[in-house]
Each structure stands twice: as structure tokens, then as C-alpha cells.
Amino acid sequence: MSPLIIAIDGPAASGKSTVSRKLAERLGYVHVESGAVYRALTWQLIRDGLAGAAAETIVRHLSKVTLHFFMEHGRLRFTVNAADPEPAIRSLAVQEFVSAVAAIPEARAWVNGHLRGLRRFGNLVMEGRDIGTVVFPQATFKFYLDAEPQERARRRQREQQFSSQDLTASAEVERALLRRDESDQSRPTAPLALAPGAYRIETTHLSVEDVIERILAIISSGRNVCV
Ligand code: CDP
């Protein structure tokens, strides 16, 4: 039987990661953060001195980047050229280049090949920007999480443990998020968009638990296409 796939897409800091991780735990599925793969590729490019290089150079370099996925204590992990990419892939340097790398069609095809291969690990909750539209258009359930930009900036800031009193940092976080959203939504290949049949959940005023409850209610109702 083919594995069940739950696709969760949405813009930066919309709560996808926390919701997806907890949902996967509740359902006993494998959680896949597709953004981590784009970040890891970007990190390797930076390490190889190719940050900001021309797309053709990056495309030629893809064959020199090897990902290895494995399960450890019930969690999916991976290495990039045999190195653990965490926590380096959360750095500002990676954040700055990742959307440019993710806009290269061949880089996306390379990542998608790896993501589709993860079905060998079983049922998946996969989060990203194009999981329901491109990677797994046949996903069993598709969700699109959104939140107002200010709330997303606040969430990202909390994650990064900035002081909420630091207004400069807050404004900068919001600007960086909006820049990345703009780039992710306007790229010609696989832009961030609501997939056909996806349930959109506006999370600005919802807790993580509320969002998970809504998703579980839809899953248990068995209505796997939004009409
Ligand atoms: O955690 P956050 O939402 O900020 O970002 P992420 O999920 O780690 O993704 C980082 C970047 O990778 C995004 O800004 C996109 O440019 C790219 N990405 C993508 O293009 N397609 C995906 N399926 C996942 C991420």
C-alpha cells in the first residue's frame, strides 16, 4: 500500500514547523521539513565558496552534493556531504541566500527527487512551499497555514529569542520575512500558492494546539479535498 502523505504549505514562520512536527508525533508519521533540505543545499554551497554564484555554476555543482537520510530515535535526520547541517542551516547567512537557490528550477528538481524518495520511510507529514502543488499533488490531505505578517515576525523573533522590546530587531525580522515571501511567491517555478483541494487555516489568533485540533478534525472526517 502506498504511504499516506499530509502536505502542509505556507509562508515563513506561519507555524508550519511546530504544527507539522506535533501532528506527525500524534499520528505516528515521519515529519519532513523540506525547507531544511533547501537550507542544507544552500549551506553546502556557502561552504564550497558558491554563495551568490551564477545559477549555471550552482546547477553544475549539484552532483557534488550528497544527502543521506536516516531514522534516529524515531526522527528523520540527514547529512550533507557526510556533515550534520544542524544548527548551521538556521543561520542568517543561509537565510539570506536560500530563496535565490530555491528559485533555480534544477535545484528544485534535485531537492524534489530526494523528497519523493522519502516515502520509503512510511507515512509522511511534509511541510514546505510546494508540497501540495508540485512535490506530492496526490497527497492524501493538503493544508495551507497562514498568519498576518506581524504575527509571523513575532513568532520568528520568539524562535530566535530576540527581546520583544527590541523594535529594530522586530522590524528587521518582519522585513526579512516579507522579502523572502515575496521571492517565494513570485518565482516562476513552483511559487508558494494554495494547492487545489487544500484547506487554508488562518492561524493568527490560533494556538498550535487549536491548529492541530482543526487539522485532526478534518482528517478524521475523511474529507480529503476542500470543496
Ligand atoms: O522556516 P521558514 O518557513 O522560514 O523557512 P523554511 O521552511 O526553512 O524554508 C526556507 C526557504 O526554502 C524558503 O524561504 C523557500 O525559499 C525555500 N523552500 C522552497 O522553496 N520550497 C519548499 N518546499 C520549502 C522551502
Which residues, other chains included, contact 118 with Cβ-Cβ below 8 Å and sequence gap of 6+? 30, 32, 69, 76, 124, 126
- Higher confidence at residue 36 or residue 163? 36
pLDDT of 1 over the 80 cut: no
Q: What is the pLDDT of residue 167?
A: 58
Q: 158-172: per-residue pLDDT in tens?
A: 877 655 555 557 788
Whether the CB-CB separation of 10 and 204 falls below 8 Å is answered with no
What does the alpha-carbon distance between residue 49 and residue 57 come to, in Å, rounded to a whole number? 11
How many A from CA of 34 to the centre of ligand 1?
7
Residue 95 CB neighbour total at 10 angstroms: 16
Q: 100-142: per-residue pLDDT in tens?
A: 999 999 999 999 999 999 999 999 999 999 999 999 999 999 9
Q: What is the pLDDT of residue 165?
A: 53
Query: What DSSP designation does 133 have?
Result: I
Element (H, E) at 85: none
In the chain, residues under CATH classification 3.40.50.300 are 1-29+123-222, 35-121
Q: How confident is the model at residue 42 (pLDDT cuts 50, 70, 90)?
A: very high
Q: What is the pLDDT of residue 160?
A: 74
Ramachandran region, residue 123 (left: φ > 0; alpha: ψ -120 to 50; beta: rest):
beta
Query: What DSSP designation does 132 have?
Result: I
What's the rounded mean pLDDT across residues 94-101?
92
What's the rounded mean pLDDT across residues 171-194?
90
Q: What is the CATH number of domain 1-29+123-222?
A: 3.40.50.300
How many A from CA of 122 to the centre of ligand 1?
23
Whether the CB-CB separation of 34 and 112 falls below 8 Å is answered with no
Pocket-forming residues, ligand 1, beta carbon under 6 Å: 12-13, 17, 34-35, 38-39, 98-99, 102, 128-131, 180, 184
Q: In this structure, which residue's CA is closest to atom 21 in ligand 1?
A: 129
Q: Into which CATH architecture does domain 35-121 fall?
A: 3-Layer(aba) Sandwich (3.40)
How many A from CA of 123 to the centre of ligand 1?
21
Q: What is the pLDDT of residue 7?
A: 98
What's the rounded mean pLDDT across residues 180-207?
94
The pTM for the full model equals 0.93
Distance between alpha carbon 35 and the CA centroid of its chain, in Å?
4
Q: In this structure, which residue's CA is closest to atom 6 in ligand 1?
A: 35
Per cent of the chain over pLDDT 70 is 96
How many A from CA of 38 to the centre of ligand 1?
7
Q: In this structure, which residue's CA is closest to atom 18 in ligand 1?
A: 35
Residue with cell 537565510: 95
Query: What DSSP designation does 24 have?
Result: H
In the chain, which ranges are E strands? 5-9, 30-33, 67-72, 75-80, 124-128, 141-146, 199-202
Pocket test for ligand 1, best of 184, 189, 192, 203 (most atoms within 8 A of CB): 184
What does the alpha-carbon distance between residue 28 and residue 216 come to, in Å, rounded to a whole number? 13
